[in-house]
Structure 1
Amino acid sequence: MTRVVFLLVQRLHLLDLAGPAQVFSTAADLGLDYRAEYVADREDVTTAQGLPLRAQTAWPDLDPGDLVLVPGWRSPKTAGGPRLIGDQAARLVAHHEQGGTVGSVCSGAFALGQAGLLDGRRCTTHHELQDELAQRHPRAAVLRDRLYVVDDRVVTSAGIASGIDLALHLVAVRHGPAVAARIARSMVVYARRSGDAAQDSAMLRHRSHLSDAVHRVQDLIDARFAEPLRLADLAAAAGVSERTLTRRFADATGLTPLRYQSALRLERAEHLIAQGTPVESAARAVGFVDARMLRRLRAGRAWHSGSAPGTPQSRGAAAPSFE
């Protein structure tokens, strides 16, 4: 079981908490063993939106595989003074030193800074608070225009809704982008990734649409991309004609089903090659008859790396982890 412990401070933003909590709750609904717990300095927590919350004051026993996440809070103009009290900062540090992951949403980064966890690390926060974070914590490398940043098991995200992106990223790292895509689809959110990395998985990058028929076909291709797949079988799975599927798939993703399958094969082959697998072996492992097609696709990806933002080749960003 993986615990996700939310450390709640007074006047926290509801969406900073609810967004990531929903991601991990949906992951649990899909059969993944996540359990959310909520701790605070006292049982009654006041939120910025006026909805009172109840939390536990006793910390659970944490394992290295667990996550502690600090949602952000509202302040009149800036992030305000230190928010962690008692042994809360020491708890964050101890969990990280034991191999655990510690994260924040929005102004929650100031809590990590208070604990000393940002020193010498890259991080981010809400765009209106970046200057203050850099001023308060000069040993931190505050990155701008990032949805989230991962550095040595310290994960920080930008404002409000970016906590959803961070949580999806963490799920993708642990369980694969297909699982994260299912969660994003269930939550009806755009499956964005951080601009801090080059590319995210095609399983996520081409899921930002609402076509159920196309999602069903993508689910099938995701699970069997290394196998020969006939367009007629994919159309039957979607309950539409081959022509209709091709049109809807292109409208939703910018690709044909075959090109989508090829993108998945290429990503998997690139991963194998990076791990030391010879090109010929990687090509066969992902379903190519030989390495010629793989080499052509790799050459095409290199050429498209200069594509304008927003094109199917350049959309998205890569998926890091609880690292």
Structure 2
Amino acid sequence: MERRVVIVVFDGFQLLDLAGPADVFGTATLLAAEYGYRIEVTAVRAGQVAAQNGITTVVETPLDQVEGPIDTLLVVGGLSAQGHRRDRGLVEGVARLAPASRRVASVCSGAFLLAEAGLLDGRRATTHWLTASELDAEYPEVEVDADPIYIKDGDVWTSAGVTAGVDLALALVAEDHGHALARDIACGLVVYLHRPGGQSQFSTAMRAVVPRLEPLRELQAFIDANPAGDLSVPALARRAGMSERHFSRVFTEQTGLSPGRYVERSRADIARRLLEVTAHPLDRVARESGLGAPETLYRVFRRHWRISPGDYRRRFQSKENRSCTSPSPSTPASPPSTPSGRTR
């Protein structure tokens, strides 16, 4: 049985918000011979719709001519999404199709269009962390949470920015067909192994901040490479050649995290990866990641990803231990559905 996915775009949309989820659904169709997804792309008007990077998508069916039933209605985001709230054809078209859809979802700032259509009233929702405060201020009836990668509230899903659309689509496939297929899709696309929705998008972004000072950049690399070492503030300050007070202040200013928070997140990332790619017992994962004891590992996982280490391993362990598979040309499978919007 094919599940119909209708993806709504607009001038200036984020191309990856469309391409990422579409490739997840398309790969699901390749891997699963007995079921799949049929992707349709629509906009207010038929014809060429330019993404913000200049690449155009050709829409064959305008939004006012799309009819239900729809399995998944997905609204993309982009830098121009907030401005498109004044496009009544777009907002009213989304509002019209929502009741004919089994579930409604948005990627990134597409949440603004769902909110404008009244589809997030009384619901918990997320968006790109840079625009979450604006969503919260302009739609007080929406419970905005800027932290998670994605949120499911009833039959409405919202996700964080850009690449989080892939995580959202993997979660939708997992809901439809189980986590094993979602893992296989992640392996086939060579993407991050399906981050749980509770993972913090803000901490993920902040971990990428690179300090201006070379000694602090070297120290970041040292922390990430030596999780089980002495990473106390006194030890790190000595390594950086600074007083403890000056080191803590400068490190926090240049990374957005205190040294202690950075060390914990680094160790948590290493523990997560060990759970994905090894069969080590939890006490060994705790030791090798520098967290020390399984009890600490459990607390850290609940704090950062809102899931226990054991549940994380069962859901997201890579197929190095369970034979990571990708689509094989020799394996018979239903051909992927051809989207009604053609990308040029």
The verdict on a shared fold, with TM-score over 0.5 as the criterion, is yes
Structure 1 equivalent of residue 340 of structure 2: none
| Cα shift readout 1:260-304 (whole Å, capped 9, x = no counterpart) | 9xxxxxxxxxxxxxxxxxxxxxxxxxxxxxxxxxxxxxxxx9996
Partner of 1:103: 105
Match of 1:35 among 35, 38, 56: 38
Q: Which residue is 1:135 aligned to?
A: 137
**Corresponding residue for residue 120 of structure 2:** 118
Matches within 5 A, 1:162-241: 162-196=164-198
SS at match of 1:6: strand
| Alpha-carbon distance, 1:147 to partner | 0.6
2:85 counterpart (79, 82, 93): 82
1:54 is displaced (CA, Å) by 0.6
- The 1:128/1:316 distance shift into structure 2, 3 A limit, reads farther
Distance apart, 1:56 and its partner CA: 2.2
Aligned-residue CA RMSD (Å):
3.3
| Matched AA of 2:68 | L
Quote the residue 1:241 is aligned against. none
- Does residue 309 of structure 2 align to residue 306 of structure 1? no
Higher relative contact order (CA 8 A, sep 6+): 2
State yes or no: 1:71 paired with 2:72: no
The superposition leaves residues 171-204 of structure 1 with CA deviations (integer Å, 9 ceiling, x where unpaired) of 001100000011000000112333538xxxxxxx
Structure 1 residues 217-259: Cα deviation after superposition (integer angstroms, max 9, x where no partner): xxxxxxxxxxxxxxxxxxxxxxxxxxxxxxxx97962315xx7
Residue equivalent to 1:2: 3
Kept in 2, the 8 Å contact 1:194–1:317? The answer is no
Q: Between Structure 1 and Structure 2, how many residues are aligned? A: 224
Tell me, yes or no, if the aligned pair for 1:4 and 1:34 is still in contact at 8 Å: yes
Give yes or no for contact 2:7–2:39 (8 Å, CA) kept in 1. Answer: yes
- Separation of aligned partners in 2, 1:150 and 1:119: 14
**Residue type of the alignment partner of 1:158:** A
| Partners of 2:311 and 2:300 in 1: CA distance | 6
Say which SS state the counterpart of residue 120 (structure 1) adopts.
Answer: coil
Q: State the 1:92 CA deviation.
A: 2.9
Name the aligned partner's letter for residue 55 of structure 1: V
**Which letter does structure 2 place at the counterpart of 1:36?**
I
- For residues 86 and 168 of structure 2, the distance between their equivalents in structure 1, rounded to whole angstroms, comes to 22
Provide TM-score, normalisation by structure 2: 0.58
Q: CA deviation at 1:57?
A: 3.1
Gaps of 5+ in 2: 200-272, 283-293, 317-344
Superposition map of 1:14-25 within 5 A: 14-25=15-26
Q: Is the 8 Å Cα contact of residues 275 and 313 (structure 2) preserved in structure 1?
A: no
Please state whether the residue corresponding to 1:73 is helix, strand or coil.
Answer: coil
Q: Aligned partners of 1:147, 1:104: CA distance in 2, in Å? A: 12
Say which SS state the counterpart of residue 68 (structure 1) adopts.
strand
Equivalent residue letter for 2:75:
V
Shift of the 13–112 alpha-carbon distance from structure 1 to 2, 3 Å rule, reads same
Contact 2:171–2:194 (Cα < 8 Å) also in 1: no
Shift of 1:62: 2.1
- Counterpart of 1:62 in structure 2: which amino acid? G
Q: 1:18 offset after TM fit, Å?
A: 0.5
Q: Which residue of 2 aligns with 1:206?
A: none
- Identity rate, percent: 38
Structure 2: distance between partners of 1:21 and 1:180: 14
Partner of 1:62: 68
CA drift at 1:145: 1.5
Instruction: Name the SS for the 2:88 alignment partner.
Output: coil
Are residues 54 and 19 of structure 1, via their aligned partners in 2, closer, same or farther at CA, if it must alter by over 3 Å?
A: same
> How much has 1:63 moved relative to structure 2?
2.0
In structure 1, what is the Cα distance between the partners aligned to 2:165 and 2:99?
23
Deviations 1:113-163 (A, max 9, x none): 110111100100001100111111110001121111111211111100000
List gaps (5 residues or longer) in structure 1: 198-248, 261-300
For 1:47, the equivalent position in structure 2 comes to 51
Higher mean alpha-carbon deviation, 125-134 vs 53-62, is at 53-62
